[in-house]
Amino acid sequence: MLGERNLGQSLLGQIGNKKLGIGTIDGSGAARWNRRTGQEALTGTYGCLGFDLLTFRDRLMFFRGEKLMSRRSSRPSLILPLLLTLFYSLFAAAQAKPVDAEGHQWWQHAVFYEIYPRSFADSNNDGVGDLNGISSKMSYLHELGVDAIWITPCYPSPQVDFGYDVADYRNIDPMYGNLTDFDHMVAEGRKNHVRIILDFVPNHTSDQHPWFQDSKSSRTAPHRDWYIWRDGKAPGQPPNNWISIFGGSAWTLDPTTKQFYYHFFYAQQPDLNWRNPAVEEVMLDTTRWWYKRGVSGFRLDAVDTLFEDPALHDNPVLPGTNKQGDPNMENKNNTNFSEVHEELQKLRKVADESEAVLIGETWTSNVAELDRYYGQGGNELQMPMDFMFTTVDKLSPPEFRRQIAAVDGAHGWPVFVIGNHDIVRSYNRYGDGKNNDAIARLMGAFYLTLRGTPIMYYGEEIGMENNDPTRKEDVKDPIGRTGWPEEKGRDGERTPMQWDIAPNAGFSKKDPWLSVPPSYRTHNVATESKDPNSVLNLYKKVLALRHTNEALLEGSYTALNEDDPNVMSYLRSYKGKAVLVALNMSATAQKAIFNLSRQGFDQTTLKTLIASPEASATGNEVTLEPFGLLIADVN
């Protein structure tokens, strides 16, 4: 899916795809590319613009779409792209170490688990979670069936946006520990076969970062151009109409130098200027620094906001206002620039040096958009998250089938999530208020058996629920404070992990930064460990199965009984072996009959592997209680 892009980006895409292409350039300087169905090559003809790719720097400028109109020559030189193609393909081949006969990489067999470090485990009882707390829970994570943990930002930070305002990219906030604690956590992880994934926040720093402190000190400071500074339209008027997603103008006037700086998020989170090569270089090198320290990858924060229109055109205003009371607008001129993909390719090259994985916070509205994040020939993110799955907010087999089929047909490996630190917990979103535990087990049996890599959210495995603040003065999340009461913020899904029945759910001896919901008395690790039918034990069983069963690890996905409005069922098959998953998404008992002759199983006999208490399989027939589930071997 190429669509309309600027010339530079399409070129880089071609190199990544190991193909050469020719396109046409329209009057606006954009290139329109076509891909012939059934052929990987791009076709078309150049207009008056050509290029001679002589130096790396020139190439960079070209890829960035800069100076596009100033570089003219009679015809394109294709030799350098060819050589680069060869180089990149050899490089990629040298880096990829498959873990199976299918050529899968480690992250394709792994189960990921997101940890909000403030809320996971508090080793020193100050009410806030920390790295030593995480280290102490590595054996829990391993026994659960987790292979990698993604820790949301734990760098030094004034915590205006709970760590997403980074003041030093190469250190640990004292609240969470220090670099020695970090190294200890990596070592404990290795002992327990749990890899560490950190959060990388490339779009902006904290306003307390030394780069910004220097940048704002004078118009000629060395770091001035590391951020985006502009004069106002008129005295006291910001440079344009862009809005911060945390409310108000995206521009703040600095009284010392009398210019405005740009911030897509909070005013304390100034955007870095990614058009400055020095910024790019130091950020790429920061990822390398962490890989050398034992990190196995990064989750990239808000990548779609990396670039802005250098001419700062106003965004189109839409009718109405948002939850912050600002006019609705289309963020056309400050998000989703094609240059984002070029940076992802560069980050990926550094990641490949260490067999690391890049996970994307990729909010997309369709699979074509998601597909672009994998890159041409898979040269960008290995794991862009499919958040469209989380938009199916009701237990609807037809909607889930549509969504899974679309993602299964994308050009990369699917990544499934049902919750994270920005979304109301899945327990509440899918729960009906009466059968929430059964539904939590159903959802676990569902997304953990799909073809792709799941990213769990801490506490999901014990059926943790949202605990939203009821008074404005209790709200910690900035968007909850500015948007109250309509927007209560994200505190509710970030409460402390529930370990046992001790006060504060055993998270801390001191009252924690956010309180646990009363349901911690029944929904905690210690209590659920003893109950064979708990949400926790269902998760453990499913995770154990998906680590050992070849059909679940390697198999294709085929939707079954696609007209059934109540039972979601599918087959995962690999080399003549198959696992069938049947999930009753309704509040009434259901029967499902499976004819798998088209899938190569003439006499279907289902052998139950995992089932809810009242579910059973006889021959090719499955009986399920309300919200019941059954996972079976097909013979």
Residues 493 to 512: which contact Ca ion by CB under 5 A?
A: none
DSSP code per residue over 545-581:
HHHH-HHHHH-EEEEESTT-SSEEEEEEEETTEEEEE
Span from 33-41, 127-135, 341-349, 386-394 in contact with Ca ion (CB under 5 A): 127-135
Q: Is the Cβ of residue 88 or residue 513 nearer to Ca ion in the bound state?
A: 513
In the bound state with Ca ion, the residue whose beta carbon lies nearer, of 305 and 527, is 305
Site for Ca ion contains 305 (CB under 5 A): yes
Letters for 354-393 (x = contact with Ca ion by CB under 5 A, - = none) are ----------------------------------------
The smaller minimum CB distance to Ca ion, of residues 88 and 264, is found at 264
114 vs 271, which CB is nearer to Ca ion? 271
Q: Which long-range contacts (CB under 8 A, 24 or more apart) does 362-371 make?
A: 362/303, 362/304, 362/387, 363/304, 363/387, 364/388, 366/406, 367/406, 367/407, 367/409, 367/410, 368/1, 370/407, 370/410, 371/1, 371/410, 371/411, 371/412
- Kindly state whether residue 343 participates in binding Ca ion, applying the rule CB under 5 A: no
CB closer to Ca ion, 136 vs 616: 136
Mark the segment that binds Ca ion (CB under 5 A) among 1-9, 200-208, 464-472, 556-564: 200-208
Q: Between residues 122 and 161, which has the closer beta carbon with respect to Ca ion?
A: 122
| Residue 202 in tokens | 């490339």
Q: Smallest gap, in angstroms, from Cβ of residue 203 to Ca ion?
A: 5
Cα distance between residue 387 and residue 363, in whole Å = 6
Binding flag, residue 244, Ca ion (CB under 5 A): no
Strand partners, 160: none
Nearer to Ca ion, 279 or 560 (CB): 279
Which of 301, 343, 477, 528 is flagged as catalytic? Answer: 301
Binding of residue 122 to Ca ion (CB under 5 A) = yes
By C-beta, is 132 or 569 nearer to Ca ion?
132
Q: Which amino acid is at 21?
A: G
Structure tokens at 284: 């790429």
- Least Å distance, CB 128 to Ca ion, is 5
Our finding on whether 203 is near Ca ion (CB under 5 A) is yes
Q: Smallest distance, Å, CB 181 to Ca ion?
A: 11
Q: How far is the CB of 177 from Ca ion (least distance, A)?
A: 8
Assess 304 for contact with Ca ion (CB under 5 A). no
Q: Which stretch binds Ca ion (CB under 5 A): 119-127, 446-454, 533-541, 598-606?
A: 119-127
Largest CA distance in the chain: 80
Q: How far is the CB of 508 from Ca ion (least distance, A)?
A: 7
Stretch that binds Ca ion, among 7-15, 217-225, 263-271, 586-594 (CB under 5 A): 263-271
- The minimum distance between CB 126 and Ca ion, in angstroms, equals 4
Q: Which stretch binds Ca ion (CB under 5 A): 66-74, 298-306, 322-330, 487-495?
A: 298-306
Burial 611-628 (b: 16+ CB within 10 A, else e): bbeebebeebebbbbbbb
Helix 339-353 vs helix 79-95: crossing angle, to nearest 10: 40
Q: Which of 43, 77, 124, 608 binds Ca ion (CB under 5 A)?
A: 124
Single residue of 110, 128, 370, 581 touching Ca ion by CB under 5 A:
128
Question: What is the x/- site pattern for Ca ion, positions 65-104, by CB under 5 A?
Answer: ----------------------------------------
- At residue 288, the 3 state secondary structure works out as helix
Q: Which helix (H) or strand (E) holds 43?
A: strand 42-43
Catalytic, out of 26, 285, 353, 393 = 353
Nearer residue to Ca ion within complex by CB, 154 or 553: 154
Is 280 a binding residue for Ca ion by CB under 5 A? The answer is: no
Q: Residue from 62, 63, 130, 457 that binds Ca ion (CB under 5 A)?
A: 130
List the one residue out of 284, 413, 261, 414 whose CA is nearest residue 348.
Answer: 284
Sign of CA dihedral 612, 396, 462, 504: negative
126 binds Ca ion (CB under 5 A): yes
| 399 given a catalytic annotation | no
Q: Is the dihedral of CA 199, 201, 202, 207 positive or negative?
A: negative
- CA distance readout (Å), 481 to 168, 324, 471: 26, 10, 10
Shortest distance (Å) from residue 173 CB to Ca ion: 11
Classified as helix, coil or strand, 28 is coil
593 token code pair: 């009959």
Angle at 431 between CA 428 and CA 435, to 5 degrees: 135
Q: Which helix (H) or strand (E) holds 284?
A: helix 277-292
In a 3-state reduction of DSSP, which class is residue 39? Answer: coil
233, 172 contact by CB (below 8 A): no
Q: Which stretch binds Ca ion (CB under 5 A): 252-260, 299-307, 388-396, 595-603?
A: 299-307
| Alpha carbons 421 and 294: distance in angstroms, whole number | 25
User: What tokens were used for 490?
Assistant: 């994200």
Q: Is 419 left (phi over 0), alpha (psi -120 to 50) or beta?
A: beta
* Contact between 152 and Ca ion per CB under 5 A: no
303 by DSSP, 3-state: which?
A: helix
Cβ distance to Ca ion smaller for residue 162 or 557: 162
Contact 476, 130 (CB under 8 A): no
Beta carbon of residue 122, minimum distance to Ca ion (angstroms, whole number): 4
Listed ranges 1-9, 201-209, 400-408, 515-523: which one lies at the site for Ca ion (CB under 5 A)? 201-209
Strand ranges (E), 248-353 = 251-254, 259-262, 297-300, 317-321, 327-329
- Residue among 165, 188, 199, 271 that touches Ca ion (CB under 5 A): 271
The answer to whether 301 is a known catalytic residue is yes
Cα distance between residue 159 and residue 167, in whole Å = 10
Instruction: Supply the minimum distance, in Å, between the C-beta of residue 305 and Ca ion.
Output: 5
Residue number, 122 or 528, with CB nearest to Ca ion:
122
How many chain residues touch Ca ion (CB under 5 A)?
Answer: 8
Cβ at position 182, least distance to Ca ion in Å = 14
- Measured from the CB atom, the residue of 25 and 131 that comes closer to Ca ion is 131
Closest residue by Cα to residue 572 from 595, 546, 540 = 546
Span of 84-92, 268-276, 411-419, 451-459 interacting with Ca ion by CB under 5 A: 268-276
Task: Point out the residues that are catalytic.
Answer: 301, 353
The site for Ca ion (CB under 5 A) is made up of: 122, 124, 126, 128, 130, 203, 271, 305
